[in-house]
A and B are shown apart, each in its own frame.
Chain A
Amino acid sequence: MKYLDEYRDRRAAERYARLLKSLAKHPWTVMEVCGGQTHSIVRFGIDRLLPPGLSLVHGPGCPVCVTPLELIDRAIAVSRRAEVVFCSFGDMLRVPGSRSSLLEARAQGADIRVVYSPLDAVAIAQELPDRQVVFFAVGFETTAPMTAMAAQQAKTLGLTNFSMLVAHVLVPPAMEAILSSPANKVQGFLAAGHVCTVAGFAEYQPLADKYRVPIVVTGFEPLDIFQGLVMLVRQLESGRCEVENQYARSARASGNRAAIALMREVFEPCARQWRGIGPIPLSGLRLRETYAALDAEQRFQVQGLVASEPKECLAGEVLQGLRKPHQCPAFGALCTPDHPLGAPMVSSEGACAAYHRYARDKQAA
């Protein structure tokens, strides 16, 4: 595929790996924020080509992983209602709630449908006027504009049978939470290329200045990751802390204006619990008053939800880059993709799942 395969070129990857080795004179710990980048790194084996002193830790950029447990439980409960058609992205289906998952609920008879785009859920609502169609709005800033468009469409069409369970989360507050934590080891970031394509990266400079960390907006293919790492290491070695853009073929500093505009019209920032991490202020999105009629949480009052995580699950530490998946005692034993304890083992770009599938030979340090 054009603009994809070229960035998987083996010779260029090997050259970049050699460059990185010669540039990295000191040990550094850097984080790639996005789950899609984690997946790519482990799938192609990029981490095995890094110089020994360069430690790449995986960030909380997996919206499937960080969607609050309570919201998963609520989603499952809503999906079980007879009148509901529950629409979701595919990777949410296997995420374990406190007692069940959407996949299990579907096996027990709930009408749960995988959609590719939020607009597909609106179309289903138009086709089935006698059913209540609920869309599980999960994702970072990349996906929020799509949900916003679906909300606007539903409102324009006057649909009374469409609503959304909103679980969107924002990246910069999470990066700040990681940087401000006393346990933080991260010295530089590979920022998420598609989040920045939508939201821009103007707000990263204050972070870079305040915490003295270089940030490089990076793509997802092997050459993107290598180039991003080279740019990051060059900054670290020379003591710079600027925001640079490796993914300039897609991301621009001002982002996508039309997408940002509609996001702002439909959503406003709110507090959000990040599964495994805890509450991060102003890190989520919720529907504004003008769109509140589409809020599924209000439309379907679900009582008596008690969220509980298994205590062996160390997802929080993994998501903050404090522990690698294979360093968790439950990894590969109590916790596997077939019977996961937490979300990162289930989501296809969760770090634990990526390690289990591609890197089970790594020894726990």
Chain B
Amino acid sequence: MNKEINLSCPVPHALDTTVTLAHGGGGRLMHQLIGKIFLSAFTDPALHEAHDGARLEPCPDKLAFTTDSFVVRPLFFPGGDIGSLSVHGTCNDLAMCGAQPLYLSCGFIIEEGLSLDALAAVAKSMARAAAEVGVRIVTGDTKVVERGKGDGLYLNTAGVGRILAPDPVSPERVRPGHLVVLSGDVGAHGAAILSVREGLKFDTALQSDAAHLWPAVRALLEADVDIRCLRDLTRGGLATAVNEIAQKSGCGISIDEAKVPIRPEVEGACEMFGLDPLYMACEGRLIAFVPPDHRERTLQALRSAGCEPAVIGAVSEKPAGEVRLQTRIGVERVLDMLSGEQLPRIC
């Protein structure tokens, strides 16, 4: 099953339009690929030194370190692609620790047959997203797998950041009485993905809400907000994030559904397919847990960072570890974790 090209041939074949197994072989073709696609998009000097690892300056602050893999399908969606998603996602994880994103690594696992244009577009998109927040892509890796063994492209990004929050940002510091502040409307990412998903396509100007959260966190830190906990909303949406905090903190959390902002297009998409917006994925939204006397400070800081925040709930002692929702008609019920994936329903 050796599909590799014989690289000792005196006439190596020219760069094709798609990625082949040879591009992952470690030889000349791979170096051409890295040079043409990655080094042209990622211009960081540490990366261009092309050592096995990047050598970085020491940092006086505590560090935060995170990793994420991205397997999104389709690779390109309104408002982003797997590349920008990975940069936003990993930087946001660092921001949720109260850390300024400093360095990123990226590992590409490419399926044989992916178009080089698509790969180049992803790389450019990552470079753009990285520049938005000032994070440096300093090291990376490339592998190619056989056709059929990958979804076009899998990406892994790991990130290092310096913690600027004076106190630990963690669910353990959440207490009854704290407010739950949401940085903006929910579900746009999930709805944008739906709009291009085979079998469910619909037309919309809706774009993913994927964005950097570090500017919002930095604004909170600069305003001296007593940030107890932060969580970015990703898969599973708002309901999942709130449930995770409730479980880890051992507190109860209540959310007022009427206060959760949702764009009309997202509502329309959810109603059409029978999905609940509280579980729809977001990629550029956070919830912050703050003491009630920091309410105005928090809202102002988030607004100054371009957010449209809303206070959507509060923490209580009981029921421990559970989330309650006050529904649109004012009745209280449990808001659970999602089980499995939301599937579009007929009934």
Interface residues of A (CB under 8 A from B): 1, 4, 8-10, 13-14, 34-36, 42-46, 48-49, 61-64, 89-91, 93-94, 113-116, 120, 138-140, 143, 222, 336-338, 347-349, 356-361
Q: Quick check: A347 and B339 within 8 Å, CB to CB? A: no
User: Closest CB-CB distance, B74 to chain A, in whole Å?
Assistant: 15
Q: Quick check: B347 and A347 within 8 Å, CB to CB? A: yes
A10-B329, A89-B345 given; 4 more Cβ-contact pairs under 8 Å: A42-B333, A45-B329, A91-B344, A357-B334
Q: Quick check: A337 and B346 within 8 Å, CB to CB? A: no
Those of B285-334 within 8 Å (CB) of chain A:
319, 327-334
Nearest opposing residue in chain A for B342, CB measure: A348
- Which residues on the A side are within 8 Å of B340 (C-beta)? 94, 337-338
Q: How far is the CA of A110 from the CA of B70 in the complex (A)?
A: 24
User: Closest CB-CB distance, B2 to chain A, in whole Å?
Assistant: 25
The main secondary structure of chain B at its interface with chain A is loop
Instruction: Tell yes or no: B343 within 8 A of A by CB.
Output: yes
Q: How far is the CA of A1 from the CA of B345 in the complex (A)?
A: 19
- Which residues on the A side are within 8 Å of B334 (C-beta)? 357-361
24 A-B pairs, CB-CB below 8 angstroms? A9-B329, A10-B330, A13-B329, A14-B329, A34-B347, A44-B327, A44-B329, A45-B332, A46-B331, A63-B346, A89-B345, A91-B344, A91-B346, A93-B343, A114-B199, A116-B199, A116-B344, A139-B346, A143-B346, A347-B345, A349-B345, A358-B333, A358-B334, A360-B334
Q: Which of B271, B333, B343 contacts A94 (CB 8 A)?
A: B343
> What count of chain B residues pass the 8 Å CB interface test?
29
Q: Quick check: A120 and B347 within 8 Å, CB to CB? A: no
- Which residues on the B side are within 8 Å of A36 (C-beta)? 347
Q: Quick check: B327 and A62 within 8 Å, CB to CB? A: no
Are A1 and B347 also in contact (CB < 8 A) when A48-B331, A336-B339 are?
Answer: no
Instruction: Tell yes or no: B258 within 8 A of A by CB.
Output: yes
Per-residue CB proximity of B256-285 to A under 8 Å, as 1/0?
A: 001000001001100101101000000000
Are A91 and B333 also in contact (CB < 8 A) when A44-B328, A338-B340 are?
Answer: no
Q: How far is the CA of A115 from the CA of B197 in the complex (A)?
A: 11
User: Closest CB-CB distance, B260 to chain A, in whole Å?
Assistant: 14
Q: How far is the CA of A112 from the CA of B28 in the complex (A)?
A: 41
Q: How far is the CA of A45 from the CA of B274 in the complex (A)?
A: 17
Instruction: Tell yes or no: B5 within 8 A of A by CB.
Output: no
Are A348 and B329 also in contact (CB < 8 A) when A1-B268, A113-B199, A115-B199 are?
Answer: no
Q: How far is the CA of A262 from the CA of B327 in the complex (A)?
A: 41
Q: How far is the CA of A89 from the CA of B332 in the complex (A)?
A: 31
Per-residue CB proximity of B164-200 to A under 8 Å, as 1/0?
A: 0000000000000000000000000000000000111
- Which residues on the A side are within 8 Å of B200 (C-beta)? 114, 116
Are A357 and B331 also in contact (CB < 8 A) when A90-B346, A116-B200, A349-B347 are?
Answer: no
Q: Quick check: A49 and B344 within 8 Å, CB to CB? A: no
Q: How far is the CA of A13 from the CA of B258 in the complex (A)?
A: 14
Q: Quick check: A120 and B346 within 8 Å, CB to CB? A: no
Instruction: Tell yes or no: B141 within 8 A of A by CB.
Output: no
Q: Quick check: B329 and A35 within 8 Å, CB to CB? A: no
Are A91 and B264 also in contact (CB < 8 A) when A44-B329, A45-B329 are?
Answer: no
A-B pairs with lowest CB-CB distance, top 7: A45-B331, A90-B343, A90-B344, A337-B339, A89-B346, A13-B329, A91-B345
Instruction: Tell yes or no: B222 within 8 A of A by CB.
Output: no
Q: Which of A8, A14, A91 contacts B343 (CB 8 A)?
A: A91
Instruction: Tell yes or no: B224 within 8 A of A by CB.
Output: no
Q: Quick check: A45 and B327 within 8 Å, CB to CB? A: yes
Q: Which of B199, B333, B345 contacts A359 (CB 8 A)?
A: B333
Q: Quick check: B199 and A10 within 8 Å, CB to CB? A: no
Instruction: Tell yes or no: B117 within 8 A of A by CB.
Output: no
- Which residues on the B side are within 8 Å of A139 (C-beta)? 346-347
Q: How far is the CA of A16 from the CA of B334 in the complex (A)?
A: 23
Q: Quick check: A348 and B199 within 8 Å, CB to CB? A: no
